[in-house]
Amino acid sequence: MIHSLFLINQSGDIFLEKHWKSVIGRSVCDYFFEAKEKAVEPENVPPVLQTPHHYLITIFRGKLFFLSVIQTEVSPLFVIEFLHRIADTIQDYFGECSETVIKDNVVTVYELLEEMLDNGFPLATESNILKEMIKPPTILRSVVNTLTGGSNVGDMLPTGQLSNIPWRRAGVKYTNNEAYFDVIEEIDAIVDKSGTTVFAEIQGVIEACVRLSGMPDLTLSFMNPSLLDDVSFHPCVRFKRWEAERVLSFIPPDGNFTLMNYHVSSQNVVAIPVYVKQSINFFESGSCGRLDITIGPKQTMGKTVEGLMVTVHMPKAVLSVNLTPTQGSCTYDSATKVLVWDIGKLNPQKLPNLRGSLSMQSGAPKPEENPSLNIDLKIQQLAISGLKVSRLDMYGEKYKPFKGVKYVTKAGKFQVRS
């Protein structure tokens, strides 16, 4: 399946390679570089490429390309999913997935890659198992290792791989047993120039942080499960129980994990928390333009809108901006042509406004289209769909765990066309 992996940074240096079968020369990456050249933007490089003898499947993540070399027919999603899993694992281990981090921990990364694939076929991809085999570096451990000559490879080989719940490591013990669930909903929307909603939907995810001793068997139920239209689960969730009773029943992995993703049924009208009044004009003569944006609360369910931010990808011709915000700060990167207005908290009494002029490259034609605005926001303590967790029960263990549920609503791909 997966023959080799190359990690490539944005400037095109291969800084790590790993082969699971016989070695393939780096020159195979040239085809990729060619495509990268052609695509200009790294996001636009086609994920699946063909070369005379190999197939290249690439993901671009964290300013890095993960390039895998394939020799025979395989499901491309299989490879893509796996490459993302590698990136996830690196992120999980070192806090971020970047070139520096990988270079600093090259041996650990290499050991991880060795465990994750055997002969190109995934072997261990569960974080719980991997962490038992190769311990993530911590400051304390590296000090201890220096003193004792110990290593970060587990002496005990993981038993999780053999159990019927491969996602949970054995022998977990905590003095404080706690389970937290974050219900995070994102609003994806496209709003018209006139303010009408072209398209809106709510996607949700439940992130869990479970630190419970032993083998807890949890059941999470909702007040209004009928809201959930389409769901996907972590492998630990028992599907049959969901089908039959609409409850989530599972033995959780240890630590942080994504319990489920869901999509709220499209029958429900999606509440759009803010409205945007905007006018962006480019003048035919004089190579300049005007911009005026005001944001106000719309359906916020009585909560405060925080972390409000507007991002605008300006047309290439815009050289610089001269804008004054009534609240927050505004920056313009003339290289990437990205305007960012970081507003912060939305005050309904005094609506934030951004106004000023745009100066254009002289002689350039007036841009056809006004740029669209991408909105970012956050509302604490609210799941915009109205989803509510009703209770969490634990079976199989005797102690009383500390339980908590938190709701957050965010803007997902929230775009206002202008």
Site for another protein in 182-201 (CB under 8 A): 188, 190, 198-199, 201
Give the binding-site size for another protein (rule: CB under 8 A): 118
Decide if residue 18 touches another protein (CB under 8 A): yes
Q: Which stretch binds another protein (CB under 8 A): 80-88, 295-303, 341-349, 353-361?
A: 80-88
Rounded to an integer, what distance in angstroms lies between the CA atom of residue 96 and that of residue 250? 28
Closest approach of another protein to the CB of residue 347, in Å: 28
Kindly write out the interface string for residues 215-244 of this chain, putting x where it contacts another protein by CB under 8 A and - elsewhere: x-x-----------xxxxxxx--xxxxxx-
Give residue for tokens 């590698």: 86
* The token pair that represents 95 in the structure block: 């806090």
41 and 63 Cβ atoms separated by less than 8 Å: no
Decide if residue 251 touches another protein (CB under 8 A): yes
List phi, psi (to 5°) of 17. Answer: -135, 150
Question: 330 to 389, contacts with another protein by CB under 8 A?
Answer: 365-369, 371-372, 374
Q: Which stretch binds another protein (CB under 8 A): 101-109, 321-329, 351-359, 382-390?
A: 101-109
Question: 321 to 340, contacts with another protein by CB under 8 A?
Answer: none
The b-or-e profile of 233-257 (16+ CB within 10 A means b, else e) is bbebbbeeebeeeebbbbbbbbbeb
Rounded to an integer, what distance in angstroms lies between the CA atom of residue 262 and that of residue 36? 34
Residue 217 vs 292, nearer CB to another protein: 217
Question: Residue 118 burial by CB count (10 A; 0-12/13-18/19+): exposed, middle or buried?
Answer: exposed
Provide the phi-psi class of 171: left if phi over 0, else alpha when psi is between -120 and 50, else beta: left
Question: 304 to 323, contacts with another protein by CB under 8 A?
Answer: 313, 315-316
**Which of 33, 35, 62, 71 forms a contact with another protein (CB under 8 A)?**
71
Decide if residue 282 touches another protein (CB under 8 A): no
Mapping DSSP to helix (H, G, I), strand (E, B) and coil, where does residue 167 land? Answer: coil
Looking from the CA of 336 toward its CB, the CA atoms found within 13 Å total 10
Decide if residue 293 touches another protein (CB under 8 A): no
Decide if residue 267 touches another protein (CB under 8 A): no
Rounded to an integer, what distance in angstroms lies between the CA atom of residue 295 and that of residue 352? 6
Mapping DSSP to helix (H, G, I), strand (E, B) and coil, where does residue 346 land? Answer: coil
Closest approach of another protein to the CB of residue 201, in Å: 8
Closest approach of another protein to the CB of residue 349, in Å: 32
Question: 39 to 58, contacts with another protein by CB under 8 A?
Answer: 39, 41, 43-44, 46-48, 50, 55, 57-58
Give residue for tokens 């916020």: 300
**Which of 34, 38, 63, 76 forms a contact with another protein (CB under 8 A)?**
76
Mapping DSSP to helix (H, G, I), strand (E, B) and coil, where does residue 352 land? Answer: coil
Nearest CA among 56, 112, 58, 72 for reference residue 88: 112
Rounded to an integer, what distance in angstroms lies between the CA atom of residue 355 and that of residue 324? 6
**What DSSP letter does each residue of 381-398 carry, written as one string?**
T--TT---EEEEEEES--
Decide if residue 301 touches another protein (CB under 8 A): no
Residue 71 vs 347, nearer CB to another protein: 71
Decide if residue 19 touches another protein (CB under 8 A): yes
Q: Which stretch binds another protein (CB under 8 A): 65-73, 275-283, 378-386, 400-408?
A: 65-73
Query: Inter-axis angle of helices 76-94 and 106-116, to 10 degrees?
Result: 140
Q: Which amino acid is at 276?
A: V
Q: Which stretch binds another protein (CB under 8 A): 77-85, 270-278, 293-301, 348-356?
A: 77-85
Mapping DSSP to helix (H, G, I), strand (E, B) and coil, where does residue 115 land? Answer: helix
Question: 106 to 165, contacts with another protein by CB under 8 A?
Answer: 106-111, 114, 118-119, 121-123, 125, 137, 142-143, 145-147, 149-155, 157, 161-165
